[in-house]
């Protein structure tokens, strides 16, 4: 099975720089997309959901700070900035990004590749952590529903905990649905209304 390539959107006004970045990244096996203005960036980012956006701070269209805010708030991607000068305004802009990483122009291939790879590792680790948290929340919600359903069944029919769980499990098998579905149905049916 072929590995999924990371998608990187290159947003750069200067054609020569954009071409150079695209060439370098495609040589490394990344799926590359490119554009030269802020409005196209948003449209393309919504369409392809890139793993990473390399964003020129002098891009035309929308204010760069607003563009970063839209991209990251809407969870379209994470941003690494590219810039010629590093000053206080740039540092404030950098602080708006999740990754807090940038590539200084003129761009050095090795430096850029190191930043891109580190950024993608950080993004993947964050995705894995979020996925784990989501699973844990789902699992704890399922467990809470099962516990609540057992309590209701035990109270309603004067059963032991094992008997109540056996009832839920049997219904789950009879209807070929996960046990938490049965638990939710029991709660809906037997939980006293406030």
Domain ranges of the chain: 7-107, 133-190
Class of domain 7-107: alpha beta
Percentage with pLDDT > 90 across the chain? 60
pLDDT at 2 (0 to 100): 43
Query: Distance between CA 170 and CA 121 in Å, rounded?
Result: 45
pLDDT in tens, 95-149: 888 899 999 999 999 999 999 999 999 999 988 988 888 888 788 888 899 999 9
Q: Measured between alpha carbons, how far apart are the two ends of the chain, in Å?
A: 54
Long-range pairs, 58-62, Cβ under 8 A, ≥24: 58/13, 58/83, 58/84, 59/11, 59/12, 59/13, 60/13, 60/36, 61/37, 62/38
Q: Which residues of 68-81 are buried (b: 16+ CB within 10 A; e: fewer)?
A: bebbbeeebbbbbb
Measured CA to CA, the distance from residue 182 to residue 168 in angstroms comes to: 6
CB 189 within 8 A of CB 152: no
Q: pTM for this structure? A: 0.71
What is 133-190's CATH number? 1.10.10.10
Distance, CA of 59 to CA of 62 (rounded, Å): 8
Query: Is 80 exceeded by the pLDDT of residue 4?
Result: no
For residues 165 and 150, is the Cβ–Cβ distance under 8 A? yes
Strands (E), 88-149: 102-104
């Amino acid at each position: 099975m072929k590995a999924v390539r990371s998608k990187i959107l290159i947003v750069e006004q200067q054609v020569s720089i954009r071409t150079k970045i695209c060439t370098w990244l495609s040589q490394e096996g990344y799926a590359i997309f490119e554009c030269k203005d802020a409005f196209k960036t948003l449209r393309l980012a919504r369409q392809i959901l890139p793993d990473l956006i390399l964003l020129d701070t002098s891009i035309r269209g929308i204010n760069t700070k607003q563009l970063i805010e839209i991209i990251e708030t809407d969870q379209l991607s994470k941003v690494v900035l590219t810039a010629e000068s590093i000053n206080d305004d740039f540092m404030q802009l950098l602080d708006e990004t999740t990754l807090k990483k940038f590539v200084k122009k003129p761009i050095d291939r090795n430096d850029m590749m190191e930043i891109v790879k580190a950024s993608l590792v950080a993004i993947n680790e964050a995705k894995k952590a979020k996925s784990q948290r989501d699973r844990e929340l789902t699992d704890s919600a399922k467990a809470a529903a099962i516990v609540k359903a057992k309590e209701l069944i035990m109270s309603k029919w004067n059963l032991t905990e094992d008997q109540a769980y056996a009832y839920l499990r049997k219904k789950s098998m009879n209807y070929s649905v996960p046990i938490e579905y049965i638990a939710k149905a029991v709660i809906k049916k037997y939980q006293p209304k406030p």
